[in-house]
Structure 1
Amino acid sequence: MIPYFTQTVIHLGPLPIQVWGTMVALGIAVGLWVSGKRAEKLGLNKKIVYDLGTYAVIAAMVGARVVHSFVYEIGATLQDPLEFFRVWHGGFSVMGGFIGACLMSYWYLRKHHVDVWRYADATIFGLPIGLGIGRIGCFLIHDHPGTASDFILAVQYPDGVARHDHGLYLSLNGFAMALVFWWMSRRRLPVGAYLAVFGVWYGAVRFWLDFYRTIDTRYFGLTPAQYVSVAMFGLGLWGIWKCVQSTRKKSG
């Protein structure tokens, strides 16, 4: 098991650096860089990918805050609506971020009259490594404690109970997916393959892991993220089917 340790702030002289925010920012920067390199390799306009990524990140932050405030913490938000704007208190939903980023990305790419799926596929290529890095911040502050467990990667919390730590699991999941994406990039795959694989993979993993979360709001036994995960998984399966059909047509 992993001993409990936490790192919320690093002090550089008189300047306090928030670890979670720093890791998220680093994940965004690395993810965008990887996506830009992928676009360059595919002969796409790297500037469009960087601009798209920037707008998508902004939309993701808004979407993440909206879903957290009005789905996960609706009671507290209605009691004090100004709490929505107190972002320094924390509270962002990754799934809300995905929704915001997807809506912004589709609008942005359509507005610029480029191939939506080719650019979206290139842009999502850097997302797994970004998630892997960003979730390290969640692990270091332990903001997603899970159920009790004797699993080898469980964290021994201060109350003496070893628990699943979802920040750690989702970070490892991001790095694993990044390796698979790198392996996929060495093969000729139809447009949309990365979007489809991401949807199936992340949707399945997040749906499963949320059963081991302890503090999330639930509706009819499932967390809001699990409902989004089902949609991601279904759309991903549809995308894989379309990719297979495309490959068969080309080979036939």
Structure 2
Amino acid sequence: MLQFPQFDPVAIRLGPLAVHWYGLMYLLAFGSAWVLGRWRIQHGKTRLTLRDLEDVIFYGVLGVVAGGRLGYVLFYKPGYYLSHPLEIFYLWEGGMSFHGGLIGVLVMMLWFARSRGYKWLEVGDFIAPLIPTGLAAGRLGNFINGELWGRPSDLPWAMIFPQSGDGIARHPSQLYNIGLEGVFLFILLWWFANKPRPTGQVSAIFLIGYGSVRFIEEFARQPDDFLGLLAANLSMGQWLSIPMVIAGLLMFALCAKKS
């Protein structure tokens, strides 16, 4: 049994200005996307240009923030925010959904592709391998903040998170997320995208891969108190991941057939 190391959520203090670790993780996420995207462009892995990369990251930020927030509002607390609509804009209080952020990014990429004359899935295939490192950075931010802890566990590496308030040893599910969503998914996508593939298949592998590992991870993650487990004893994250896997499998097969 381990004790969670109490990190200071503030990384840098400059007088009244406080820079939080979680904010730095967002910078790290988009910075890593820029570095990896630049490498793919310079090595001829895409038709997109460096100018396109800068615009894709800018629109991606908008999609992640707007989609992530609206996804959380609609998927997790629709009743509460219907009664408190102004709090939808209280981003500093937390509450983001990856699945909502993904939808937001897809919408922004559709607009970007149509405005630049690219195929939507072509843009998706370029972006997909850049996402896992950002996911890992976000989960590291969750771990530093001591949030999104796991379910009770008696494993040797189980941790007591003081933020939970119950003194129970739990899975360090944020670290599982880093390993699966970050490291494993990055290796899978980078390897798969390194060779010519039918347009859309890299995007399909991302949907299948993320949906699968998220479904598995949720068995170790503590469900949200205000939701608990839903039908079939599955969490909201698992129910949102199932359509991702199905859509990815269909997309993979259709793209192979079309090619």
Q: In the alignment, is residue 240 of structure 1 matched against residue 252 of structure 2?
A: yes
Deviates more, 1:209-218 or 1:134-143: 209-218
What displacement does 1:95 show? 1.1
Which of 13, 20, 23 is the matching residue for 1:21? 23
Structure 1 contact 153–164 (Cα < 8 Å) conserved? yes
What displacement does 1:88 show? 0.9
| Cross-structure match for 1:145 | 149
| Cross-structure match for 2:113 | 109
What displacement does 1:122 show? 1.0
| Cross-structure match for 1:161 | 168
Q: Residue 171 of structure 2 aligns to a residue in which SS?
A: strand
What displacement does 1:146 show? 1.9
| Cross-structure match for 2:92 | 88
Take 1:166 and 1:50, find their aligned partners in 2: how far apart are those partners?
A: 33
Take 2:154 and 2:98, find their aligned partners in 1: how far apart are those partners?
A: 27
Residue type of the alignment partner of 1:120 = G
Q: Residue 11 of structure 1 aligns to a residue in which SS?
A: strand
Tell me the number of residue pairs that the alignment of Structure 1 and Structure 2 aligns.
247
TM-score normalized by the length of structure 2: 0.85
What displacement does 1:107 show? 2.1
TM-score normalized by the length of structure 1: 0.87
Q: In the alignment, is residue 36 of structure 1 matched against residue 23 of structure 2?
A: no
Residue type of the alignment partner of 1:6 = Q
| Cross-structure match for 1:12 | 13
Q: Where do 5+ consecutive residues of structure 1 fail to align?
A: none
Structure 2 contact 68–96 (Cα < 8 Å) conserved? yes
Structure 1 contact 25–134 (Cα < 8 Å) conserved? no
Q: In the alignment, is residue 198 of structure 1 matched against residue 210 of structure 2?
A: no
What displacement does 1:185 show? 4.3
RMSD: 2.3
Residue type of the alignment partner of 1:40 = Q
Residue type of the alignment partner of 1:199 = L
Take 1:212 and 1:136, find their aligned partners in 2: how far apart are those partners?
A: 17
Q: Residue 168 of structure 1 aligns to a residue in which SS?
A: helix
Take 2:194 and 2:112, find their aligned partners in 1: how far apart are those partners?
A: 28
What displacement does 1:154 show? 2.9
Distance 1:31 1:150, change over 3 A: farther
What displacement does 1:161 show? 1.7
Identity %: 29
Residue type of the alignment partner of 1:11 = I
